[in-house]
Amino acid sequence: MNSSSLPPVESLPFGHAAVLGGGLMGRLMALALAQAGCRVDLYEAGSAQAEGAAARVAAAMLAPLAESAVAPHSVVRMGHYALTRWPQLLATLTHAAEPVFFQREGTLVLWHRQDAPEAHRLARVLARTAEAVPQLPAMQSVNGADIAALEPSLGQRFAQGLFLPQEGQLDNRGLLEALLAALQASAAVTLHWQSPRQPADFQPGTRGQPDWVIDCRGLGARAQWPALRGVRGEVIRVHAPDVSLRRPTRLVHPRYPLYIAPKPGGLFVIGATEIESDDMSPASVRSTLELLSAAYAVHPGFGEARILEVATQCRPTLPDNLPLLRQTHLRVLEINGLYRHGFMISPALLDVAMQHLAHGHSTLAPQFDLAPALHAAAALESTP
């Protein structure tokens, strides 16, 4: 089932929900519940600026085939689903000051000559993904002239590459702000900032309590979900008016596979590092130099860029690096483990969760390998 044929959840069999966590997943859930006629209380430990959310430090690329280098096919299918689902979700954000930046200009994968063996290995991985998920647009091998046509500012700097058509990206912070504006404008939503909560603070389904609790706290849920771990990421935001790239570009490298995501107004998000650590300290000199040097090697115009921000954040990750929807208590649904794919997979998780809340099951869940945990959840709800 694709998003165009997905029947919207127009109503729910309950009237009040508490959403814990005001990051990307929490804001999406709160808004979807309100749009389905539910009264929602959103509780967030931080402020409305989402300074503690992994989604605030992200490139927000929607690149299912490119990400299959590190992601299984279930995540690839979620990412493909999101490419058509995101425009539908963005169309509902009518209270934003301006439209959220969204594009589907594809992903360009490049490499230097010395890294050709690593690039060939990557190409084989992507080809296997394309066979397993045939609905993805076909990957294209490109030469120097093709690269110059796709990205004129790169000229003939690269002799070979891969082009992954129709992959996309959006503006992560613009989206968080637009979701906030929609929540603030909704009469059905009450926002509680600087108000940390956990599921044990509620008795859902009892008098004076919400009917459901939806836990979207990410790493904030580690006390209840000990298997969660933090995976550190580092990104640099630069203003580079002398650089003109039309689409996200990835540089193959055996140690730091770089991505450069162009945003409106000459802004670029540069990242690569992924460290098995929940350390939230500032970025190291070494990783910063590697990121900037690699970006400069892609386009010398980055040499005159102005560094706006060097940011670090930890992504909530489960042992298998896969997302999970689960219930360990009646009327408490937990959504977690979005790892590095939050923007790419959150629409799928949202729609599976909404179907489950509305009907006790989800027709989408098997498509994304999310059904076993939800079957267990349904059994829990049906237990006398």
Which residues lie closer than 8 Å to 133 by C-beta, 6 or more apart? 64, 68, 73, 76, 77, 80
Q: pLDDT above 90 covers what percent of the chain?
A: 84
C-alpha span between 193 and 164 (Å, rounded) = 40
- The CATH number that applies at residue 288 is 3.30.9.10
C-alpha span between 312 and 54 (Å, rounded) = 9
C-alpha span between 350 and 267 (Å, rounded) = 29
pLDDT at site 257: 80
Take residue 220 and report the two structure tokens written for it. Answer: 């904030």
C-alpha span between 325 and 355 (Å, rounded) = 12
Domain extent for 245: 107-165+229-317
Mean pLDDT of 5-12: 68
Take residue 126 and report the two structure tokens written for it. Answer: 């992507």
pLDDT at site 277: 79
pLDDT at site 7: 55
- Contact between 24 and 346 (Cβ < 8 Å): yes
pLDDT at site 339: 96
Show the CA angle centred on residue 334, arms to residues 185 and 213, nearest 5°. Answer: 55
Considering the domain architecture, whether residues 121 and 177 belong to the same structural domain is answered as no
- The CATH number that applies at residue 332 is 3.50.50.60
pLDDT at site 40: 98
Considering the domain architecture, whether residues 154 and 235 belong to the same structural domain is answered as yes
Considering the domain architecture, whether residues 358 and 344 belong to the same structural domain is answered as yes
pLDDT, one tens digit per residue, over 257-296 is 899 999 999 999 999 867 787 888 888 898 899 899 989 9
Nearest Cα to 79, choosing from 338, 336, 339, 345? 345
Do the domain assignments include residue 72? no
Do the domain assignments include residue 273? yes
C-alpha span between 156 and 149 (Å, rounded) = 10
pLDDT at site 278: 82
Q: How many domains does the chain have?
A: 2
Which residues lie closer than 8 Å to 134 by C-beta, 6 or more apart? none
Considering the domain architecture, whether residues 18 and 146 belong to the same structural domain is answered as no
Considering the domain architecture, whether residues 275 and 325 belong to the same structural domain is answered as no
Do the domain assignments include residue 91? no
pTM of the model: 0.95
Do the domain assignments include residue 250? yes
Considering the domain architecture, whether residues 313 and 252 belong to the same structural domain is answered as yes
Mean pLDDT of 355-371: 94
pLDDT at site 8: 64
Mean pLDDT of 141-169: 96
Considering the domain architecture, whether residues 308 and 256 belong to the same structural domain is answered as yes
Considering the domain architecture, whether residues 153 and 257 belong to the same structural domain is answered as yes
Measured from the Cβ of residue 127, the count of other Cβ atoms closer than 10 Å reads: 12
Pairing mode of beta strands 16-20, 324-329: unpaired
pLDDT at site 219: 96
| CA 321 vs CA 185, 331, 336: distances in Å | 35, 25, 10
pLDDT, one tens digit per residue, over 24-75 is 999 999 999 999 999 999 999 999 999 989 999 999 999 999 999 999 999 9
Which value, in Å, is the radius of gyration of the alpha carbons in the chain? Answer: 21
Considering the domain architecture, whether residues 15 and 134 belong to the same structural domain is answered as no
pLDDT at site 253: 83
Domain boundary among 263, 282, 317: 317
Domain boundary among 286, 317, 348: 317
C-alpha span between 176 and 163 (Å, rounded) = 29
Pairing mode of beta strands 140-143, 160-164: antiparallel
Do the domain assignments include residue 132? yes
270 phi/psi in degrees, rounded to 5 = -115, 130
Instruction: State the residue for tokens 């070494």.
Output: 286
pLDDT, one tens digit per residue, over 162-202 is 999 999 999 999 999 999 999 999 999 999 999 999 999 99
Do the domain assignments include residue 64? no
Question: Is the pLDDT score of 252 beyond 50?
Answer: yes
Considering the domain architecture, whether residues 157 and 241 belong to the same structural domain is answered as yes
pLDDT at site 378: 65
Beta-bridge partners for 269 = 237, 261
pLDDT, one tens digit per residue, over 116-125 is 999 999 999 9
Confidence of residue 3 (pLDDT cuts 50, 70, 90): very low
Give the chain's length. 384
Considering the domain architecture, whether residues 257 and 334 belong to the same structural domain is answered as no
Confidence of residue 6 (pLDDT cuts 50, 70, 90): low
Considering the domain architecture, whether residues 159 and 236 belong to the same structural domain is answered as yes
pLDDT at site 330: 94
pLDDT at site 364: 95
Question: Is the pLDDT score of 5 beyond 60?
Answer: no
